[in-house]
Each structure stands twice: as structure tokens, then as C-alpha cells.
Amino acid sequence: MHTFQQNTWNNVLAVKSILIVEDDPILGNLLLEVLQEEAIYQGHLAPSGEMALNMLQTITPDLFLLDYHLPGMNGLELADQLQLREGGEQTPILLMSADLPQESGALDHLRTLQKPFDLETLLQLIANLLA
């Protein structure tokens, strides 16, 4: 009986790690704050794709939240690199932008969120992707 309670408790407290890649410091910090308020999420913020790739040496995110317009590589290029990593194809990616690329097929493998977005919509989408 004790083991059952322990396992249930661990599942309740299983914190999901989310890597936010957003070059706008105001939006990035807002997203980080919103995630930290949800006790089940641990947010990490990177201002560029290069920085995000470097952070993967020390963290293993359960979800990637990517801005499309980033310095250097854009969010779509970063998503491709993330999916090529070992185990990367299983990690959900949410691409956020006010103007997503329209090339046919470019976004088929990604979930997208149009900016500006409602924070409740974002949290619901995150919960669905991590379910």
C-alpha cells in the first residue's frame, strides 16, 4: 500500500521541463513567469536557436516552445535540428509566430500558435501536447 501511494505522489509531482526559445525578452520572461506559476512546469529560456542547442547539453525538455523569428536560425530551422537529435522526434514542438511561413508542407510536422495569443489557450495547448 505504501508503494502505491508513493508512486501516485511521484506522478502528481512529475515536473515537465519546457524550453522557450524567444528573442523578445519581455515576451520570453512573461512566458517563463506563466509556466513557473503552474507548479507542474519548469521553464527555461533561450534567446536564440544556438543558445537553445547549447542548453540541451544540460537539460532534456519535454516540450519546445519556439518563436519563428529568431536571430541566426529561425524557429523552423531550429525545429528541424531538434527533431534530428536522438529522441528528438518524440519531443513535441510548438511554433509561435504572428506570420507563419505559408510554404505547403513546411509546418506539417509541427503544432503552431498564432501571435498574439491568449495565455489560457497557450496553457491548454501545452497541457494537450504533454498529455
Q: What is the 3-state secondary structure (H, E, C) of the chain?
A: CHHHHHHHHHHHCCCEEEEEECCCHHHHHHHHHHHHHCCCEEEEEECCHHHHHHHCCCCCCCEEEEECCCCCCCHHHHHHHHHHCCCHHHCCEEEEECCCCCCCCCCCCCEEEECCCCHHHHHHHHHHHHC
41 pLDDT band (50/70/90 cuts)? very high
Q: What domains lie within the chain, and their CATH numbers?
A: 13-130 (3.40.50.2300)
Output the pLDDT for position 107.
64
pTM for this model (two decimals): 0.85
pLDDT tens per residue, range 89-117: 789 999 998 887 666 566 667 788 999 99
